[in-house]
Structures are given as structure tokens and as C-alpha cells.
């Protein structure tokens, strides 16, 4: 948690958590609250969730290091950029493979993310820019028991980040240097900047109308297949109930259906691992694959398909 001295210093600069709010890509706070805080008026009420996040920070960091390696060399390291108006205080800096790496800590009730939210990607870029570091991780406690570490590809020379810095400098000059009070409340989300960050992250693309139509048809077919599978299951149950204890169904001397007992053997890998864990570990083979998963509810919300 920040000391009064650190809070006073933060009022004199724009920090890594300020930038996403100013640019309209963060769900937290608004630019007027940022302006108020720079005037020395703190409008943020510390919640229990915020305090718990601070208390858990060290434990999450240690689990992250257990996963990715390295050691903590600085907690809450504050730095001001050479330009004098930008600053950053990441949660940790770790030493890993003869390089310094930003480690930012988050807590959320959400399940593991498909993609890191855009405001956090901007936040760690800002931290790297200020501290002169070129690599970052975000360690997240999802729910109450899963810590997942996300490696962020840092590109401080990207057009989107340069644009963000330029806009933040303009905001600083207008609202802090010239003293122009920004509007109250939160404006509409800055979708162009969010889209640019998503595209630069390289793990996602924007779905166009053509592909959206393909996804719509996929959901329709999945729904239809589900209905057919349920119907087939019901019909097969009716046949089995009719056969009862008999094994063969005949029509005009021809066998149309059989329901016979079969015996098969399978290797109980779970029991073997429990009985011989060291031996089992020697023969474990790791493979990497990509899991294809349609987000039916999300697609339905765009297309109006009834799943």
C-alpha cells in the first residue's frame, strides 16, 4: 500500500493506472476523478476487496515466481519518466534470466481470461516505458484458488502505445498545466484504442460480418445436433427396453439389432499413478494442442440465434 509520501508524489504525475482511465478504456473511475486526485482531493473509497488484494499481493507474487522462475528484487518500485510528467509504481520487479521483468498483481472473481483486458495491457506497457524494462507478466488470482500468469508482449515502439502517450500528454497539458476541469462522469468506451491494443496483442482478431455469419450457422448446427442426439438417445432406450434381457432383434429372419454383453480391459492410469508415482512420472509425455471452443452465448447475443 502506498505511503502518504508516495501518494503526494503520484499527484504530481500521471501513473500507469491513470492512463487507461484518461483514455476511456478502463471500467474503473473516470477522468474527472483523476483530475480531482491531482488537485489533492481523493474521491476513491478504499473497499474491502481493495484491501484484500493488497494483503494477498505477496502470496500471489510468490506463486507467480514458482510458475515462471526468478526472484523479487523490488516491491512497489516508484519511478518518474525523464519527461517529468509520467510515473509508474508496479507491484514488483523480478530478476529473471539476467533481465528485469515487471510483475503486476491482480485479483478477480472471474475465471481465467481468454485475453488480458486492454486496460491492463496498457498499464504494464506504461510501467515498462517508465522503468526502462522490456518484459512484463500479470499474475492473477482468479476466484479463490487459481493463480494464472500471463506474459505480455511489450512493444513500446508500437503506434497504439505512442498514440496513448501523446493523448495522455495532451490531457496533462490541458487539464493539469492549464487547469481546465474535465467533464464529470464517464464517457463512452474508447473502442478504437481498445481495438488497436487487441490487434497488437496478436492473440485475437475482430470478427467481421462474414465470419459472424459462419459462427451463427455453427451455433445453429450445434443446437440441431444436440436435439438429434437427444432424440436418438430416447429411441435407443425404447429399443433396449423392448429387447429387455434378449440379445437379438429379428425381422423376417434377418438380424436388425443386437444388444450383447461385452468384456473389455483398460489400463487404469489413475490407479497406476497413485501406486507408482515415480514410475508414472518417467513415462509422462507432454503435448501441446489448441482447443477449439465456440462461445455460444456470446455469439447468440450478437446474432439473435436461439441456442
* pLDDT band (50, 70, 90) for residue 156: very high
Q: Assess whether 8 and 87 both reside in one domain.
A: yes
In the listed set 153, 177, 201, which residue is the last one of a domain according to the structure?
Answer: 201
The mean per-residue pLDDT over the stretch 106-122 comes to: 93
Instruction: Indicate whether 189 and 46 sit together in one domain.
Output: yes
187 and 250, same domain (yes or no): no
pLDDT at 2: 61
Beta-carbon contacts of 158 under 8 Å, excluding residues fewer than 6 positions away, are 200
Same domain, 29 and 52: yes
**pLDDT for the residue numbered 306:** 47
What average pLDDT does range 171-183 have in this prediction?
95
180 and 257, same domain (yes or no): no
Per-residue pLDDT at 25 exceeds 60: yes
Residue 140 and residue 23 share a domain? yes
Average pLDDT (163-188) is 93
Shared domain check, 91 and 192: yes
Summarize pLDDT for 237-270 with one digit per residue, the tens: 999 999 999 999 999 999 999 999 998 888 888 8
The mean pLDDT of 20-39, rounded to a whole number, is 93
Domain span at residue 18?
4-201
In this structure, the answer to whether residues 137 and 285 fall within a common structural domain is no
Name which of 50-64, 110-124, 171-185 the model is least confident about. 50-64
Q: Which of 169, 201, 233 is the last residue of a domain?
A: 201
Based on the fold, state whether residues 124 and 29 are members of the same structural domain.
yes
pLDDT band per the 50, 70, 90 thresholds, residue 199: confident
Q: Is the pLDDT of residue 133 over 80?
A: yes
pLDDT of residue 303: 60
Using the predicted structure, report yes or no on whether residue 131 has a pLDDT greater than 70: yes
Number of structural domains in the chain: 2
CATH number of the CATH domain containing 59: 3.90.320.10
The model carries a pTM of: 0.76
Q: Are residues 118 and 218 in the same domain?
A: no
pLDDT averaged over the chain? Answer: 90
pLDDT at 307: 45
Same domain, 189 and 230: no
pLDDT, mean of residues 220-228: 93
Same domain membership, residue 93 and residue 11: yes
Tell me the mean pLDDT in the region 169-186: 93
All three cell numbers of 187: 464517457
Confidence of residue 207 (pLDDT cuts 50, 70, 90): confident
Last residue of one domain, picked from the residues 154, 185, 201? 201
Asked if residue 94 has pLDDT above 50, the reply is yes
Amino acid at each position: 500500500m502506498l505511503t502518504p509520501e508516495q501518494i503526494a508524489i503520484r499527484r504530481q504525475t500521471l501513473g500507469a493506472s491513470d492512463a487507461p482511465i484518461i483514455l476511456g478504456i478502463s471500467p474503473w473511475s473516470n477522468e474527472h476523478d483523476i483530475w480531482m486526485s491531482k488537485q489533492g482531493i481523493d474521491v476513491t473509497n478504499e473497499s474491502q476487496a481493495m484491501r484484500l488484494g493488497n494483503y494477498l499481493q505477496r502470496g500471489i507474487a510468490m506463486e507467480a515466481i514458482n510458475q515462471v522462475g526468478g526472484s523479487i528484487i523490488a516491491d512497489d518500485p516508484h519511478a518518474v519518466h525523464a519527461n517529468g510528467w509520467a510515473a509508474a509504481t508496479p507491484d514488483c520487479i523480478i530478476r529473471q534470466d539476467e533481465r528485469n521483468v515487471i510483475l503486476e498483481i491482480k485479483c478477480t472473481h472471474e475465471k481465467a481470461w481468454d485475453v488480458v483486458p486492454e486496460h491492463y495491457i496498457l498499464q504494464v506497457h506504461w510501467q515498462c516505458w517508465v522503468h526502462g524494462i522490456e518484459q512484463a507478466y500479470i499474475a492473477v488470482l482468479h476466484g479463490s484458488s487459481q493463480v494464472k500468469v500471463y506474459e505480455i508482449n511489450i512493444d513500446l515502439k508500437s503506434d497504439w502505445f505512442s498514440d496513448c502517450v501523446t493523448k495522455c500528454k495532451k490531457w496533462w497539458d490541458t487539464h493539469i498545466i492549464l487547469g481546465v476541469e474535465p467533464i464529470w462522469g464517464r464517457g463512452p468506451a474508447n473502442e478504437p484504442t481498445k481495438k488497436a491494443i487487441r490487434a497488437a496483442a496478436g492473440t485475437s482478431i475482430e470478427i467481421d460480418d462474414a465470419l459472424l455469419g459462419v459462427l451463427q450457422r455453427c451455433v445453429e448446427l450445434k443446437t440441431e445436433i444436440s436435439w438429434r442426439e437427444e432424440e436418438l438417445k430416447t429411441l435407443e432406450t425404447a429399443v433396449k427396453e423392448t429387447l429387455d434381457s434378449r440379445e437379438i432383434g429379428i425381422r423376417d429372419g434377418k438380424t436388425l439389432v443386437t444388444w450383447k454383453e461385452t468384456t473389455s480391459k483398460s489400463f487404469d492410469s489413475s490407479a497406476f499413478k497413485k501406486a507408482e508415482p515415480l514410475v508414472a512420472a518417467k513415462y509422462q509425455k507432454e503435448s501441446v494442442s489448441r482447443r477449439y471452443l465456440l462461445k455460444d452465448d456470446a455469439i447468440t447475443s450478437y446474432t439473435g440465434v436461439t441456442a
